[in-house]
Amino acid sequence: MKHNFEQRKQNRIENAKAQAEKNSLLSDRQYSAAQEIASYIPMGQPILVGHHSEKRHRRDLDRIHNLHGQSIQSAEKARYYEAKAKTIEENTAISSDDPQALTKLREALKECEDLQIFMKEVNKCIKKKDKEGFLKLPGTSEAKWIVVNTPDCFNSKGFARYKLTNNGAEIRRLKKRIAQLEKLEKMETSESEYNGVIYRKNVEANRVQLIFPGKPAEEIRTILKKYGFRWAPSEKAWQRHLNNDGIFAANYALKAIVANSTLNKQEPAKVFTLLNKQDNIAA
């Protein structure tokens, strides 16, 4: 969340590393336990059917088999959490929870726009065979002029059309995200109550939250999960990201909850009218 983004990210990394270490140690213990049991059985010793040792022998073999399986599962979990920690550390995606998200998005947008201009200018120079004009562009050289004039596998020179198209799509995506976050910045935290359920747009946390007076019934929890809400113990709320999808999901979830007999204390039509007046974040 915005108010503790870096701390939460670091906590996730540390938790993943702790889980990796825990499962790695557990895997070693399980393997060692299996080996210890196996050490009491002479190499190549068959099960003596009918002998008093038969049951114990079979039991020990089952334990060895199970411990080896558990050891493998724990090792796989350890690898999963190691990869998870690495992914979180190396993740360069711009999260809306990041307080610097707008600044980073604007920087990314400028880079994309500069690249778009550069690619178009390069293609113009190639089309006009204007080497002098190309060399006036930033970051160009004689060697790069040779490179951009070398035909690709489709016998095309310069920047391919798909690169311009993809970069243009990225520019539009970034502009849309910036517009949404700019509108979010102007919003203030607000809340309303429907049938005892608090509906909060928590701008500081960047979450749309549904807060119940107690633990919701199972059918209500099913509705919440269906619409993408997850329980957050730290906030004591069912929540998801504060964006258009989150607001729409909250509206539909509340309508479904109100329609449910468990909380049907208020006229559903009245609640539906109130919910339909909710603003969206689209620019």
Q: What is the mean pLDDT of residues 82-106?
A: 90
Strands in 19-62 per DSSP E: none
Specify the DSSP element, H or E, that contains 193: strand 190-194
Residue linked to tokens 């204390």:
265
pLDDT above 80 (res 270): no
DSSP per-residue string spanning 117-185: HHHHHHHHHHHHT-HHHHHTSTT--HHHHHHHTS--TTS--SS-HHHHHHHHHHHHHHHHHHHHHHHHH
Among 230, 268, 232, CA closest to 249? 230
pLDDT band at residue 269, thresholds of 50, 70 and 90? very low
Report pLDDT for 280. Answer: 55
What pTM was computed for the model? 0.67
Report pLDDT for 146. Answer: 92
* Range of 3-7, 104-108, 186-190, 203-207 with top mean pLDDT: 104-108
| Long-range contacts, stretch 218-226, CB < 8 angstroms, 24+ apart | 219/260, 219/262, 220/257, 220/260, 220/262, 220/263, 223/253, 223/256, 223/257, 223/260, 224/253, 226/253
All residues at 6 or more sequence positions from 211 whose CB lies less than 8 Å from its CB, including other chains: 197, 198, 200, 236, 237, 238
Residues 173-190 have pLDDT tens digits of: 999 999 988 888 888 889
pLDDT band at residue 274, thresholds of 50, 70 and 90? very low
Report pLDDT for 43. Answer: 86
Rounded to 5 degrees, what are φ and ψ at 267? -60, 120
Whole-angstrom Cα distance, residue 44 to residue 171? 69
All residues at 6 or more sequence positions from 63 whose CB lies less than 8 Å from its CB, including other chains: 34, 37
Task: Please provide the average confidence, as pLDDT, over all residues in the chain.
Answer: 88
pLDDT band at residue 271, thresholds of 50, 70 and 90? very low
CA-to-CA dists, residue 247 to 176, 207, 227, angstroms: 17, 9, 10
Report pLDDT for 281. Answer: 53
Residues 210-241 have pLDDT tens digits of: 999 888 889 899 999 999 999 999 889 999 99
pLDDT above 90 (res 267): no
Q: What is the mean pLDDT of residues 149-171?
A: 92
Percentage with pLDDT > 70 across the chain: 90
Whole-angstrom Cα distance, residue 161 to residue 139? 21
Q: What is the mean pLDDT of residues 74-86?
A: 96
- The residues that bridge with 190 in the sheet, in sequence order, are 201
Residues 135-148 have pLDDT tens digits of: 999 999 999 999 99
